[in-house]
Structure 1
Amino acid sequence: MTSASTRQEARAKFLREQGWHDARIEPLTPDASFRSYARLRRAGDGCMLMDAPPAHEDLKAYLDITAHLRALGLRVADTLGTDLEAGFALIEDMGDDTFTRLLDAGHDAEPLYLLATDVLKALHAHPKAVEVDVPPYDMAALLREAELFVDWFVPAFRGSEASKTEKQRYMDAWQGALKDVARVRSALVLRDYHVDNLMITGGTEDIRHCGLLDYQDALLGSPAYDLVSLVEDARRDVPSGLRAAVMERYTAGMQDNEVTALERDMALLGAQRHAKVAGIFVRLSKRDGKPIYLGHIPRVLRLLSSALKTPELAGVRESIEAMVPDYESARF
């Protein structure tokens, strides 16, 4: 029996136990993770099936963070049924109105982005947001992610792996650049905060109508991370005027020195994220057979190059340019 058929049988068993065995199953387009989703429909009713294979995904983490975000007053899908051991959950179907779909259909971008900004402000201001048992976004985690660039992007682009000396120089440069921001624990970082993972479940004026997705890998770290993820999106160009509106909204009431520190941390964590994403997109193509992500590489590298102009990142920039001097030209 193949693993696929075994998984299918486990899914059928779960649906029988939950009373959804008679539903019509409509698979959704897979994302970059090992999770998959399907819409379950039957007369007058519907929900979503989350398939999170235990060997690759932590369903408990999703459920725990979901409960925590709900307690903070944020909009997340209701949990309708679970089997932790098998890695299945039934969750509320919040509809199809992701920010991405709305933007692609011509919806005005600014109200959506400002709503997303208001959600972040509320999350970052909530005194109990960090009262949750998740790991810190510490130096080890940040370096492990930055390493993906040198392990996957560099050899794919230049045709040879980085030498031990090249890699060490690169990692040392990151450690020096991130030494301060890696100690910050003031925010619950959702980590993939961008328009693909945000939904409208009502109007665009109330944060309770902004549905959140894909937050199960949340960590405690800097508020700058999710903010830069929103305005420096790997999959979508964000016009400078829209970014400025987001920053004006987020920094309202902040002191000048606080804004300066936030912008510095956004540059540092933005660069780290772009390096990580460049590596992940190559890995998704080469290891996981998902080449579609390679189309975003030029944007990611432009964002990386821009962030690397930050003085604190001079060492990182030099180490990258020494390994792949024309990395911005990469096309796969």
Structure 2
Amino acid sequence: MKNNTMIKNDMQEPQAQKHEVVNPDDFFDARTDLRQQFADECGWGGVEIKQMGEDCAFRRYYRLTREKDGEVETAILLDSILEMEDKVAPAHKLVDVVSLAPKMKAAGLSVPDVYFSDVSKGYALLEDFGDYSYNKAFQNGADQPELYGLATEALQKMRQSTELNSLKLRNYYEGHVHANRVDIVHWYRPAALYEANPSGLMESYLAAWGEIENALPPCPMIFTHCDFHVDNLMVLEEREGLNKCGILDFQGAVIGPAPYDLANLLEDARKTLPNELKTALKAKYCADMSAEDKEIFNAWYRVLATQFHCRVIGLFVRLLVRDNKSIHLHHVPRLQNYIVEALDDPILAPLKRWFVESGIDLSKPLPPFDLPRLRKILGLIE
């Protein structure tokens, strides 16, 4: 039987943490009747409700299906942990789905309509964008330049939208995405070396990034989706032009550094893009920028992409070690390669020195996982 138990872990230093075991299956199974009640209230009583897989966050999606006037009609029921619970992260709040959707749609972006919502109970009924994600489309041989080009145009729309960029959103530098650039230290290094991190290691890692960032001009801050990748982008085949690019999971949006979303899209942990395509898409995104702005954008693109990889490589280890989810581990070698290549950029020289001093050799695969031993090293068990 699959073990979905998650060990709650909210503080930054694993060795000093207390852990509450939370089983998401138990939580959502206990809400079956409440989901049905919400569907009834939305006019979808007595229909089929089918779970659509799991999410890395503490939420579930269910497809509602019914026949109406001789045609099949569907909608998506989002079941989320209650807003007042301490287990919900700031970027996973249902209220942000409900509030951002109409604003993004008004900016010319294809996001699901919110038909009904009850934030107090953790439910929303959303437009169904189907199952044909960018990821699936590429597996079926879809045209990469076309679809990535549409996604890049969507990011341009976000950057150019006065309304979106004036929203009072969380600041990227105060949120978990930026903070968790340390996950390579917290989670990856102990898994690579099977030893606890020495005192001062985290401080030296953050000092390396500080030296890098302080050497660069300030980066423009804009509306940032913050999770803009091929599994959150849908091909809406019945639509045309930019509207063909459906955008999901935008509830974690922040005001963040301009290159972040494009780096997230092109430096994908799940998929390797040809360098010539990445170069063309960066040029497309920056087409309306001055030469000076392009130079600043490219420098920060390198920094943010590498911070993204340092976060995600640690995240994938954490998902196995803490949450018993191994589904992403096969992407770790790609992330290793991304970081190794990035460290040849002189901009990242302080970080390159840190990796040598820390003992992390990203050219080597991770050793086999001895989970009881690793969990003990990390302080997850005694």
TM-score, normalising length: structure 2: 0.81
Matching residue of 2:15: none
CA distance in 2, matches of 1:52, 1:140: 20
Structure 1 residue 152 corresponds to structure 2 residue 187: yes
Matching residue of 1:48: 76
Matching residue of 1:23: 47
Alignment partner of 1:164: what SS?
coil
**Partners of 1:50 and 1:89 within 8 A in 2:** yes
**Partners of 1:115 and 1:205 within 8 A in 2:** no
Mapping for residues 280-319 of structure 1, pairs under 5 Å: 280-319=315-354
**Partners of 2:219 and 2:297 within 8 A in 1:** no
Report runs of 4+ in structure 1 exceeding 6 Å deviation: none
TM-score, normalising length: structure 1: 0.93
Larger deviation: 141-150 or 63-72? 141-150
CA distance in 2, matches of 1:287, 1:114: 37
**Partners of 1:151 and 1:161 within 8 A in 2:** no
| CA displacement at 1:144 relative to structure 2 | 1.4
The structure 1 residue matched to 2:211, chosen from 176, 181, 198, is 176
Pair 230,143 (structure 1): closer, same or farther in 2 beyond 3 Å: closer
Alignment partner of 1:178: what SS?
helix
Q: Which runs of 5+ in 1 are unaligned?
A: none
CA distance in 2, matches of 1:82, 1:139: 28
Counterpart AA for 2:197: A
Pair 156,65 (structure 1): closer, same or farther in 2 beyond 3 Å: same
Q: Deviations for 1:78-136, whole angstroms, at most 9, x for unmatched residues?
A: 00111112211110001222111111111111100111111111211122221112111
Matching residue of 1:209: 244
**Partners of 1:112 and 1:204 within 8 A in 2:** no
**Partners of 1:185 and 1:220 within 8 A in 2:** no
Provide the aligned length of Structure 1 versus Structure 2.
331
Alignment partner of 2:200: what SS?
helix
CA distance in 2, matches of 1:142, 1:177: 18
**Partners of 2:219 and 2:300 within 8 A in 1:** no
Q: Which runs of 5+ in 2 are unaligned?
A: 1-25, 369-382
Alignment partner of 1:211: what SS?
strand
Mapping for residues 105-184 of structure 1, pairs under 5 Å: 105-138=140-173, 143-179=178-214, 184=219
**Partners of 1:148 and 1:279 within 8 A in 2:** yes
Pair 3,123 (structure 1): closer, same or farther in 2 beyond 3 Å: closer
% same residue: 30
Counterpart AA for 1:232: E
Pair 151,255 (structure 1): closer, same or farther in 2 beyond 3 Å: same
Alignment partner of 2:165: what SS?
coil
CA distance in 1, matches of 2:318, 2:49: 30
Pair 142,50 (structure 1): closer, same or farther in 2 beyond 3 Å: closer
| CA displacement at 1:185 relative to structure 2 | 5.2
Counterpart AA for 2:173: D
